[in-house]
Chain A
Amino acid sequence: MLEAVGTETVDDLFDIPAAVEFDDAFGIDSRSERETRRLVRSILGRNDTLTELLGRGHYGYYIPSLVDHLADRSEFLTSYTQYQPEVSQGFLQVLFEYQSLLVELTGLEIANCSMYDAATALGEAATLAERVRETSGHRVLVPDLLLEGRRSTLENYVAGTDLVVEEYPTDAGTVDLEGLEETADDDVVMLYVENPTVRGTIEEGLETIGDLATEHEALYVLGSDPVALSLLQRPADVGADVVVGDASVLGLPTSYGMGLGLFATREDYLRQVPGRLVGASEDATDRRVYTLTLQTREQHIRRERATSNICTNQAWVALRTAIHAASLGPHGMVDLAKRGVVRAEDLAQRLDDLVGVTAPVDDGRHVREFVVYVDQPAAAIASDLEKRGFAVHVVGDHQLQVCVAGVSDAKIDQFVAAFREVAR
């Protein structure tokens, strides 16, 4: 090969000035595959094995074996963005079916084929609001309960615009309608509400909030996820303009927060949507095919006038989510959501029966998770629970949060028993 290239050594092919050449070593040992596996297993083995009753934006539902086995087929894993659709029909169809799933769940006409996670999808919604706004407004209203990771990411996304992020109050875990009405004005360009909320509560005033957004010509953005959307009010029916959230509640196990940004919106905003879109078309034999479309919105064509800077996205996670949803089917999806309500409220009742414990703290209905009041310091209770093999959230001096998603009934029984011991 060197002869064909016309050089003596590979080094001759590098055109690097001596002044910036690296002649040292990184000091990283090479290992065999077996040694490397042992190393990673030994490092990760330092994680304690705990039963996680954790949620707050990241969930550990059971993932059917079908998902791993199909998604790990190497054609899915080792292909890239479908710049050559003629040899990428399989992945394009998966993404088209994923978009269709979100269209069905949200009732909105357009869903893109992924953002990074819920927080970045929220940030993209704000820049969409800036692009499509018809007024001179600049306020983005979010609940005071918003997760710090989402709030902070949103702040970074709007830092380059004239938008400002402001809070509206919540009361007992859901939107304080009077407080929201007081703070909302015509200067608001986007109103963000989550259903369920980060505390697991179900919003009851979504339509009223939608009317308020319309009154002030603000984009109404709803945060949710595919499990909750299977049961709770359909966003299109309450006037939502955009739905964001984490779609990987289906498809991914607990992955230290790795997610899949859900982004759906109305057809009116089609040409302002961030991210990739897969559309149907025809090939030269007139058969229906799929292809990336409306790419003139994207960075590789439109550069600084693109609707987003996103390139690499979360396509493979979307594949996993699509397979998981298909595996559940409509009955399974609805059932999973219903069980989230029943099991959360049942566990809350059982904890409420314990001495020194009140649950749920918030009024109204819950899905999947809820906040618990403990007479003793919450951090101490959480620490004691951890010693007994259970992880819960500490959300206040005397408040814990508990989530049932993916936790078996047997483990819940053990958890209640452990809680009884530590709360005494």
Chain B
Amino acid sequence: MKELSLHILDIVQNSISAESNLIEIVVDESVKNDKYSIAITDNGKGMDNETLQQVTNPFFTSRTTRKVGIGISLLKQNAEQAGGTFTINSKVGEGTTVKAVFQFSNIDRPIMGDIAGTMTLLIGANPNIRFIYNHNTNLGSFEFDTNEVIEELEGIPISHPDIIKALKELINENLEMIEAKLT
């Protein structure tokens, strides 16, 4: 994956398959601690310990259409290559948290890329899932919750292309304002 936003898109697909209806994505950029972390938490069906142990194995998948499952392994590899760490926690019936930490200044840390496009694609395709997106930098933080948007829309479907386009702009505009600056 060339961009962190694509990893997010990929990992969130797991949360969707796990029948979550709340998916929270938190991005923390800390220039001071030289860390760039991404955490994805869902309230899906979770995994038992045995599955959890297997999950970073690229030859493990719960799919039946093919025999490999490399989404999580790729993110783990990318994080570790960029001087970071990868953790995954899960509880059956409660949900799963995936956390990837990168070294902020590491040359191998992929760029975030089009996170607004990723978020709106997910929202448009899964209007019944509540998405929370939280992005913190040294300049401020941005919080986005589809529940608030739905309330504001008063019945207009959130997945309407015009709304999606507007949300993409909203996310981009807000992120631009808090873009981390190396001082």
Please determine whether chains A and B interact with each other in the same assembly.
no
